[in-house]
Amino acid sequence: MIEVDLLVAGSGAAGFSAALAASHAGLSVLMVEKEPQFGGSTAYSAGVIWIPGNRHGRALGIPDSKQEALTYLQHEAGNRLNLELANAFLDNCNPAVEFIESKTHVRYEAVPIWADYHPTKPGAAQGGRSLLPLPFDGRRLGRRFADLRAPIKTMMAFGGMMLGRGDLPHVFKMTRSVRSALHVAGMTARYAVDRLGHARGTRLTNGNALIAALALSAEERGIELWLNSPVVELLLKDGVVAGAIVQRDGKRQEVRARRGVVLACGGFPADDELKRRYYGHVREGRQHRSAPPPGNRGDGIRLGRQAGGALAEDVAYAAAWVPVSLVPQPDGSTLPFPHFYERGKPGYITVDASGRRFTNESASYHDFVPALVEACRDREETMCWLICDHRAIRRYGMGAIGPAPLPLGPHLRNGYLLSARTWPELAALIGVDAWVLHNTIQRVNVNAARGEDPDFGKGTDAYHRFNGDPAHQPNPCLAPLERPPFYAMKLIPGDIGTFLGLRVDGRARVLDSSGVPIRNLYAAGNDMTSVMGGAYPGAGITIGPALTFGYIAARHAAGLSA
Ligand SMILES: Cc1cc2nc3c(=O)[nH]c(=O)nc-3n(C[C@H](O)[C@H](O)[C@H](O)COP(=O)(O)OP(=O)(O)OC[C@H]3O[C@@H](n4cnc5c(N)ncnc54)[C@H](O)[C@@H]3O)c2cc1C
């Protein structure tokens, strides 16, 4: 048996935030992680955080206020918005991020034109709320670098080189700008050197940079992190959570936790049973592929339920949706590639199995999937085709395929990408009516040349245009698809994590079905219900709250106000 003040289950954004805040508040902390590597889905992510009124945005002169953000959340989540949680988030997100930036190695920057996802709604921001982590040198982790979960393989170049959001404009322009060519050449040279001594590149960006920086800071504070060590049972004494049983390297180990346990196990995107219960289209037997890692199997939710915690089931959607393509692997399996942005670029459209467009391709991924599910309601399969011409694919790439000069050949040979010289040939290849596809393309091309999309409004707001190409006019999201060959890639519904989770109060305390806190039990990240009520207001709306509620939980456990 060992004894600490706080036991933290899970090593993603929520877990590290809780552990570091608790340690800085003077508590002894043990972190335990079920998987052989730490980082969870946060390590897979872009690491972006949505923090209204943050200091980086202010420094750029972008005005914002708590009231504006609250108004926006009310319009996004409607009567599903839990005001207590929304206020707790908005009051604490800045202190939490300021704590993280001042006491750890994590550094963020604002992206001034990264608009909220529904920027015409009241209270929405046209930029500045979404913060991007700065790159981090993985070599600083020393031997622990090998314990850091790598990004999804399909999202790295050359099987191991990370590209950050800030690198992408250079990648798109590398054949047309000397500055961009030098930027990409520099990254590639560093990667080549890295591979002499490491299994992958050590220039970390996105969620990998966030987790690596948090992990280094935790190690420097002497916070122990056990890998291969799931929490399997909570220990209760007179209704108070007193610790847990941790299965460490296969052996049951009792951990007493004087101030409590934080559940930060990352929700249930890898649990088929819970997904069948809560994902409508999965319940109906529809195709779906989740992007998060296999360890996120709802353990925190089950543990919380066993201790008497209730689930907050009133969310608009149980998960954060994203369309995915399935990238064939040499062993015959497939890996998902989440399509966040390229749908919005000029020269891309999506069509359903009839060959018709069905939605605005530049809308957010969370909005795209319900439109896809609806469009396929009476069809055999829930899928669509992402279509583009040669100019678009060479300039921006498609899914796991990079832009020129990266080759298309291997992707054509393994069937990930389909291509034809004419539209009727492509229609035949993907099994859609050639005449319908012809009409779709004709109409798109005529309107795109004028920069208009009268059917779905692609490129009509600041968020759509952020997803487009600012150098392309008159509409950054629209271009005729006219340069053969033409290409198609299949997309199906997927998710990047769950929204539905344990009911908590504004102090991250797990509540029972009567709304009474279970003493010494906290949940943060995707183990707690999303503050957004199942809506997706902007980039970073899961990791922003994960860092914030981890911080809140730790401060409460330490007896400090949060
Ligand atoms: C490709 C991709 C991009 C994304 N980009 C963004 C983004 O930019 N911004 C954003 O806000 N969101 C993003 N998301 C979503 C985001 O990654 C998650 O919502 C978030 O990271 C969840 O954080 P967490 O701390 O709750 O869980 P995680 O980071 O998943 O960590 C949970 C950890 O708990 C471990 N665990 C599970 N069970 C146990 C147990 N019994 N005992 C101990 N440990 C356990 C898991 O193995 C895992 O390591 C993205 C997701 C993906 C897949």
Instruction: Determine the Cα–Cα distance for residues 73 and 124; give it in Å rounded to an integer.
Output: 9
**How far does residue 528's CA lie from ligand 1's centre (Å)?**
12
Instruction: Determine the Cα–Cα distance for residues 275 and 427; give it in Å rounded to an integer.
Output: 34
For the Cβ of 135 lying below 6 angstroms from any atom of ligand 1, the answer is no
For the Cβ of 265 lying below 6 angstroms from any atom of ligand 1, the answer is yes
Instruction: Determine the Cα–Cα distance for residues 231 and 253; give it in Å rounded to an integer.
Output: 9
Q: How many CB atoms lie within 10 A of CB 410?
A: 12
pLDDT of residue 175: 84
Put residue 216 in one of left, alpha, beta given phi > 0 → left and psi -120 to 50 → alpha. Answer: alpha
For the Cβ of 545 lying below 6 angstroms from any atom of ligand 1, the answer is no
CB 174 within 8 A of CB 182: no
- Identify the three-state secondary structure at position 101: helix
- Sequential DSSP letters for 494-509: EEEEE--EE-B-TT-E
**How far does residue 266's CA lie from ligand 1's centre (Å)?**
5
| Phi and psi angles of residue 395, each rounded to the nearest 5 degrees, phi first | -85, -40
| pLDDT per residue as tens digits for the range 115-159 | 999 999 999 999 999 999 999 999 999 999 999 999 999 999 888
Strand partners, 240: 237, 519
**How far does residue 42's CA lie from ligand 1's centre (Å)?**
4
User: Which positions ≥6 away from 255 have C-beta within 8 Å?
Assistant: 1, 2, 3, 4, 7, 30, 32, 243, 244, 245, 246
CB 338 within 8 A of CB 322: yes
Going by DSSP bridges, is the β-strand pair 108-110/130-133 parallel, antiparallel, or unpaired? antiparallel
13 CA: nearest ligand 1 atom:
25
| pLDDT per residue as tens digits for the range 48-89 | 999 999 999 999 999 999 999 999 999 999 999 999 999 999
- pLDDT above 80: residue 480: yes
| pLDDT per residue as tens digits for the range 371-381 | 999 999 999 99
Q: Which of 29, 32, 34, 41 to mutate to test the pocket of ligand 1 (most atoms within 8 A of CB)?
A: 41
**How far does residue 497's CA lie from ligand 1's centre (Å)?**
7
- pLDDT above 90: residue 168: no
pLDDT of residue 172: 83
DSSP-derived letter for residue 129 is: S
9 CA: nearest ligand 1 atom:
43
Across residues 382-406, what is the average pLDDT? Answer: 96
**How far does residue 44's CA lie from ligand 1's centre (Å)?**
8
Instruction: State the pTM of this model.
Output: 0.97
Q: Could you give the angle at the alpha carbon of 267 between the alpha carbons of 519 and 275, nearest 5°?
A: 125
Instruction: Determine the Cα–Cα distance for residues 545 and 106; give it in Å rounded to an integer.
Output: 16
For the Cβ of 151 lying below 6 angstroms from any atom of ligand 1, the answer is no
**How far does residue 47's CA lie from ligand 1's centre (Å)?**
10
Confidence label for 562 from pLDDT (cuts 50, 70 and 90)? low
pLDDT of residue 165: 81
pLDDT of residue 176: 85
User: Which positions ≥6 away from 197 have C-beta within 8 Å?
Assistant: none
**How far does residue 13's CA lie from ligand 1's centre (Å)?**
7
For the Cβ of 230 lying below 6 angstroms from any atom of ligand 1, the answer is yes
User: Which positions ≥6 away from 272 have C-beta within 8 Å?
Assistant: none
| Phi and psi angles of residue 144, each rounded to the nearest 5 degrees, phi first | -70, -15
* Averaged confidence pLDDT in the chain: 97
- Identify the three-state secondary structure at position 81: coil
Across residues 247-265, what is the average pLDDT? Answer: 97
- pLDDT above 90: residue 249: no
pLDDT of residue 58: 95
- pLDDT above 80: residue 561: no
Instruction: Determine the Cα–Cα distance for residues 258 and 255; give it in Å rounded to an integer.
Output: 10
For the Cβ of 114 lying below 6 angstroms from any atom of ligand 1, the answer is no
Confidence label for 42 from pLDDT (cuts 50, 70 and 90)? very high
CB 196 within 8 A of CB 202: no
